[in-house]
Amino acid sequence: MTGVVLCNMGGPDSLQAVRPFLENLFSDPEILRFPLSGILQQPLARWISRRRAPKVAERYRRIGGRSPIGEITRAQADALASALGSDWAVTVAMRYWHPRAREAAAELRGQRASRIVVLPLYPQYSRATTGSSLADLETGLVAEGLGGVPRRVVRSWHDHPAYLDALAEAVDEGLRDLGEATVLFSAHSLPMKLIEQGDPYLDQVRVTVAGVVERLKNPSHRLAFQSRTGPVRWLGPGVEETLETLAAEGVRRVLVAPVSFVSDHIETLYEIDVEYAELARTLGIREFRRCPGLNTRPSFIQALATIARDAARGLG
The confidence score (pLDDT) of residue 232 equals 79
Mean predicted confidence (pLDDT) in 256-272: 97
The confidence score (pLDDT) of residue 280 equals 98
The confidence score (pLDDT) of residue 265 equals 96
Tell whether 307 is covered by a domain: no
**What is the total count of domains within the chain?**
1
Tell whether 277 is covered by a domain: yes
Position 269: which residue type?
L
Mean predicted confidence (pLDDT) in 110-127: 97
Average pLDDT, the chain: 94
Tell whether 269 is covered by a domain: yes
> What is the C-alpha separation between 232 and 239, in angstroms, rounded?
17
Q: Which residues contact 155 (CB under 8 A, 6 or more apart)?
A: 120, 125, 130, 134
Tell whether 224 is covered by a domain: yes
Q: Is the pLDDT of residue 26 over 90?
A: no
Tell whether 12 is covered by a domain: no
Tell whether 137 is covered by a domain: no
Percent of the chain clearing pLDDT 70 (strictly above): 97
| pLDDT level of residue 270 (50, 70, 90 thresholds) | very high
Tell whether 259 is covered by a domain: yes
Q: Which residues contact 284 (CB under 8 A, 6 or more apart)?
A: 247, 252
The predicted-structure confidence for 149-178, as pLDDT tens digits, reads as follows 999 999 999 999 999 999 999 999 999 989
The confidence score (pLDDT) of residue 45 equals 86
Range of the domain at 286: 161-290
Tell whether 249 is covered by a domain: yes
CATH for 212: 3.40.50.1400
* pTM for the predicted model, two decimal places: 0.94
Which is nearest to 238 in space by CA: 229, 228, 247, 251? 228
Residue pair 221/182 in contact (Cβ under 8 Å)? The answer is: yes
Mean predicted confidence (pLDDT) in 203-227: 97
| pLDDT level of residue 260 (50, 70, 90 thresholds) | very high
Q: Is the pLDDT of residue 34 over 60?
A: no
The confidence score (pLDDT) of residue 29 equals 77
